Amino acid sequence: MQYFVKPFIRIPLYHYSQFIPSIASTLKNLSPTQLTQFHQLIQNDDEKQLKLIAYLVQKLKPGLIPYKHILLQQIRSRSIESNQDLEYAIKLIQKIQNPEFYLNEYINTIQEKRIHSCIIQINQKYPGLCKSEQLVRIQEQFPECTQELMNKMIVNRQNQPKQQIYQKIQTFTPRDIPEQHNEPEQLEKHKYITQGKIVLRFPPEPNGFLHLGHVRSIRLNFYSAEQLNGDCYLRYDDTNPANEKQIYIDQIEDNVKWFGHKPTHITYASDYFPFIFDCAIKLIKENKAFICEQNREEMKEFRRNKQPSPYRNRDMNESLRIFNEMQEGKYPESKYTLRLKIDYQHSNPTLRDPVAYRVLYTQHPKSGDKWKVYPMYDFAHCICDSLENITHSLCTLEFEIRRELYYWILSNLNLYKPFVYEFSRLNVSNNMLSKRKIGKMIEMGIVNGWDDPRLLTLAGLRKRGYTPQAINDFIDQVSVPRGGNEQIISIKLLENCIRKELDKKVPKIMAILNPILIDVEIDKNTIKQVYVQQDDVKLIDNPEFYGLSPNKQVCLRFFGVVLCEDIILENDKPKYIKVKLISTDLNDRKKLKGQINWLDKQDCIAATVNEYSYLFDTENPAEIPEFWNQINKNSLQIYDVKVPKSLEYKIGDRFQFERNGFYIVDSLKDGHIYFNKIVGLSEGEKKNLK
């Protein structure tokens, strides 16, 4: 039976029942793309294995692709014998990618016994996927796993060198598409031009400021090119002038340089507009593109229902004439579009005769009003990649569905085809990494522009006090996975990266947040005035609080033991405090748990601190339609602070305020200093009094 599968894999689905009746129903559920994958995977498999492979193809989400061949091996070794077994294997793989993975919920199931070897092989092929305690847990649940094998896995995990981000490029293995392969003469010409170098590109759209999510691409492309002695383009995808501004163009280049990268070339998609326009003309003349008059809603409805445009068979000469007249500015914006004639019934919606060009009468930041028609991103992007001889076109997973369109365009234009690979989009908890949604928050007045320090835009992170080194360290730790766009990285990992860097570099100073004045009676004739923090004072004492309370002794650090005699209130809050010096003896000072920071009134100056916390109360605001309702209303708190006046404070200087965290000088106005809080201390380092 298996001998009939391959010869007929591309015939219409209704023929399957004639040749493979036992799996006809399964194959009818596969899309053309899945049928191609099925064809690539099968060998001399029996009927049961063919059904499982077909089911596997249906379940191959992006995050499972690295495990495809392991699962296939388990099917052929009969460790996986049913769809249910396969479902359990997939669940375990998804769990094993999660740091909280444990096998509790699968204990005593027969399916788990059948597929335990699948887990073992995953760990052998991908050492480091599990923590040591998780491997021990596997051994507890599966006695078949010998101690020798478990020890080997743990040693492999411990000895596995951390793969640098640039090294990953050499291991990328995308889904195979027949159209992606170059003709020998195209490949030869490409290699001659590039001299065998790796050529990458970072292609942002200048419609907003870059955010943390873009750094993964910056790091992957620029850093990899530098390490592999290749080239990297900074190419602006300026195909939609309605949303593009010069300020965004300038900011992008500035941020790339901030990370220490120098693009080999700085280009614009608009540099290639004449060639891209000629490509559209070529496709019209070959009857592979047509002028359509459907409006947006009609086109959307027809494409969803897999119906052809009523203008699909428009005369080629008429389409050619109208397209040239569109560029001459003879028609309003919504009158015509140029669409590619691919397959309006294709299972991949991006191939259902997509739009290639539309009319826009918007001033372009680079070319002015020269062009009246603009190519869509999908049409221009692949052509630009080809013209620049990009070797690796790297983008995020939401573009994977467009890969077939990418190669269709280049194949039909007979152009060189780069290697395309998609990786997971970066999502960070309690924040938003979407230019469109950030723009919405700016418009609503939720944040104060693109450089608001609560945002994870690069401008916001710079203003907050983050460094390129800390951000790169974060990107290197999260790396370039392909596990789907749903994974959310905890913002605490980013905080830990900047905290670790600053802890080694910045000076520590004693600064007093929310200061309260204290009169320290040295003797009957001497009063010393100092400031302490408000959270070091409580009207009612408790055993776990080591700060100032009435009739309680504490130590002012490096000074002496004092007794709190009186707390004067204003509006039910402490205004100032009277204390009496008891002892300056070192032994007496050491006996007390309460060690309070303070600054002499004569030796400090007033400043202001912007204390930032998470912008959203929820971990994943992106999944909430009205995300603005989840804003943390206390994400910005403004406090008074006293800092030593003996120091010099310049914009950009960073300090650790003891017991409080790390801060940067944001601005100096009329001699007044404004600090932004970068990050607090780690839980283990916090010395705040309770």
Tell me if residue 425 is catalytic: yes
Check: CB of residue 390 under 8 Å from CB of residue 201: yes
User: What is the per-residue pLDDT across 561-601, written as a single tens digit (0 to 9) for each?
Assistant: 999 999 988 888 888 899 999 998 988 888 888 889 999 99
Q: Which long-range contacts (CB under 8 A, 24 or more apart) does 84-89 make?
A: 84/111, 85/111, 85/114, 85/115, 86/52, 86/55, 86/56, 86/59, 87/59, 88/112, 88/115, 89/115, 89/118
Instruction: Indicate the residue type of 328.
Output: E
Check: CB of residue 609 under 8 Å from CB of residue 643: no
Check: CB of residue 533 under 8 Å from CB of residue 516: yes
pLDDT of residue 53: 86
Eight-state DSSP code of residue 342: S
Question: And the tokens for 210?
Answer: 């870059």
**Intervals of the chain under pLDDT 50:** 1-19, 98-115, 125-129, 144, 687-690
pLDDT of residue 140: 57
Instruction: Indicate the residue type of 512.
Output: I
Phi-psi region of 645 (alpha: psi -120 to 50; beta: other; left: phi over 0): alpha
Quote the Cα angle for 41-84-91, to 5°. 80
Total Cβ atoms within 10 A of residue 581: 17
Tell me if residue 205 is catalytic: yes
pLDDT of residue 154: 55
Question: Which position among 339, 341, 417, 435 bears the catalytic label?
Answer: 435
pLDDT of residue 413: 97
pLDDT of residue 180: 82
Beta-strand pair 512-513/661-669: unpaired
Non-local (6+) Cβ contacts of 522 within 8 A are 528, 581
Beta-strand pair 355-359/373-375: antiparallel
Total Cβ atoms within 10 A of residue 510: 17
pLDDT of residue 89: 78
Instruction: Indicate the residue type of 389.
Output: N
Q: Is 530 exposed, middle or buried (0-12, 13-18, 19+ CB in 10 A)?
A: buried
Total Cβ atoms within 10 A of residue 411: 16
Report, in angstroms and rounded to the nearest whole number, the Rg of the chain calculated over CA atoms: 32
Give the residue among 459, 465, 491, 463 at the shortest CA–CA distance from 478.
491
pTM above 0.95, yes or no: no
Non-local (6+) Cβ contacts of 202 within 8 A are 217, 218, 221, 222, 232, 233, 234, 235, 256, 263
Question: And the tokens for 110?
Answer: 């027969």
Question: Which position among 216, 339, 425, 454 bears the catalytic label?
Answer: 425
Question: Which position among 87, 179, 205, 658 bears the catalytic label?
Answer: 205
166 membership: H or E segment, kind and range: helix 165-168
